[in-house]
């Protein structure tokens, strides 16, 4: 099924759910509707990435799918849904999506592994602060002291990516001649 048909199917499903809500047959909150839309979009993107040799759509598809699943879990587990917990969850989902993309795209982009650690650190910290596992003031001291490490790591990843792409170009040129 091409992407145009998938969009049509997604719109029909969303319209049907909204009609059922209007007729009071299904109760949809804003969180549930966003979760359903995210799940449908994520599934369509994941389906597209399976057929694509470079796995285009895998990062977005895994993000939307994991985000939808986490919204469903939080919808049944926590009420009200606290903003720090939501934002921490969002960053954790971004981290895991980057890890999935890194693993399934041939481990070619080291930026994705950096984003995994970066977003994971932000999301994990927000959730740890929410549950009083770490103190905000201790975190402030650590971040203000060691933030230049992020610049060093980004610089190293850029160099590694450049060297990797340069080697690939050399191998392709040798294979062609």
Structure confidence by residue, pLDDT tens digits, 13-48: 878 888 887 888 877 777 777 888 888 888 888 888
Q: What are phi and psi of 66, to 5 degrees?
A: -65, -35
Q: Residue 170 — pLDDT band, cuts 50, 70, 90? A: confident
Q: Quick one: pLDDT at residue 74? A: 77
Put residue 46 in one of left, alpha, beta given phi > 0 → left and psi -120 to 50 → alpha.
Answer: alpha
Condensed to tens digits (0 to 9), the pLDDT of residues 78-102 reads 656 677 788 888 999 999 998 888 8
Q: Quick one: pLDDT at residue 78? A: 62
pTM for this structure? Answer: 0.69
Q: For residue 67, give the nearest of 99, 95, 109 by alpha carbon.
A: 95
Task: Using the CB atoms, write b or e for 134-148: b if 16+ within 10 Å.
Answer: eeeeeeeeeeeeeee
Residue 127: both structure tokens together: 């959730």
Q: Residue 151 — pLDDT band, cuts 50, 70, 90? A: confident
Q: Is 66 within 8 Å of 93 (Cβ atoms)?
A: yes
């Amino acid at each position: 099924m091409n992407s145009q048909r998938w969009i049509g199917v997604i719109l029909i499903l969303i319209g049907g759910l909204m009609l059922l809500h209007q007729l009071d047959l299904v109760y949809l909150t804003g969180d549930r509707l966003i979760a359903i839309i995210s799940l449908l979009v994520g599934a369509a993107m994941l389906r597209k990435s399976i057929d694509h040799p470079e796995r285009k759509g895998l990062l977005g598809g895994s993000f939307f799918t994991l985000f939808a699943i986490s919204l469903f879990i939080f919808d049944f587990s926590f009420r009200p849904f606290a903003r720090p917990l939501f934002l921490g969850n969002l960053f954790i989902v971004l981290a895991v999506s980057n890890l999935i993309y890194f693993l399934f795209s041939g481990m070619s982009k080291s930026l994705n592994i950096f984003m995994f650690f970066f977003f994971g650190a932000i999301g994990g910290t927000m959730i740890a602060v929410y549950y009083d596992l770490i103190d905000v003031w201790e975190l402030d001291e650590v971040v203000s002291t060691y933030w230049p490490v992020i610049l060093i790591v980004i610089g190293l990843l850029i160099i590694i990516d450049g060297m990797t792409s340069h080697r690939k170009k050399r191998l392709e040129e040798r294979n062609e001649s």
